[in-house]
Amino acid sequence: MTEQHIYIPKHVYGEMIAYCASQLPHEACGILIGEIVEDAASIHSFSPLLNVDSNPRHRFTIDQAEWTRHLFRLAAKSKSIIGLVHSHPSSAPTPSSADLATEWHTICSHWIISYIEPCTPAVAAYRFLSNRRFQHLSYTLTG
Ligand SMILES: [Zn+2]
């Protein structure tokens, strides 16, 4: 797979951080929507998703029906899910072993927002590879 550079507008970046902060002390999740043109992924918007996990302080689970509704809506607009966002209320913005064990590695980017320092959340983006490996992704804030 060729390396894709990711562009994310500042207001979308701000929205995902503010939404995840609003869900503390629970983990929050959401998707970054946009389009991929050649080697660049351009994010257009953020959509929050409900965390339906029974233990939402330590895990997140996406509601399958909500996920499917998004997929259909996006397909109709020729847009895609560029990234999956979730928060770590009290741990570093590094993928946990549970994160790496999910089936979500097919999504092109994973964003983790850490609120260890609630006033200065830390955001990191990754690509999940097979066998629980991952690599850091760089991104550019636009607008
Ligand atoms: Zn996690």
Which pTM was predicted?
0.93
| pLDDT tens digits for range 64-85 | 999 999 999 998 898 999 999 9
Q: Is 101 exposed, middle or buried (0-12, 13-18, 19+ CB in 10 A)?
A: exposed
For 1-20, the DSSP string reads -PPPEEEEEHHHHHHHHHHH
- Structural domains of the chain sorted by starting position, each given as residue range(s) with its CATH number in brackets: 5-142 (3.40.140.10)
Q: Ligand 1 centre and the CA of 76: distance in Å?
A: 30
Q: Provide the pLDDT confidence category of residue 121 given band limits of 50, 70 and 90.
A: very high
Which residues have beta carbons under 5 A from ligand 1 (an ion)?
96, 99
Q: Ligand 1 centre and the CA of 58: distance in Å?
A: 8
- For position 105, what pLDDT does the model report? 67
Q: Ligand 1 centre and the CA of 27: distance in Å?
A: 8
Copy the structure tokens of residue 141.
């804030």
Amino acid at 108: C
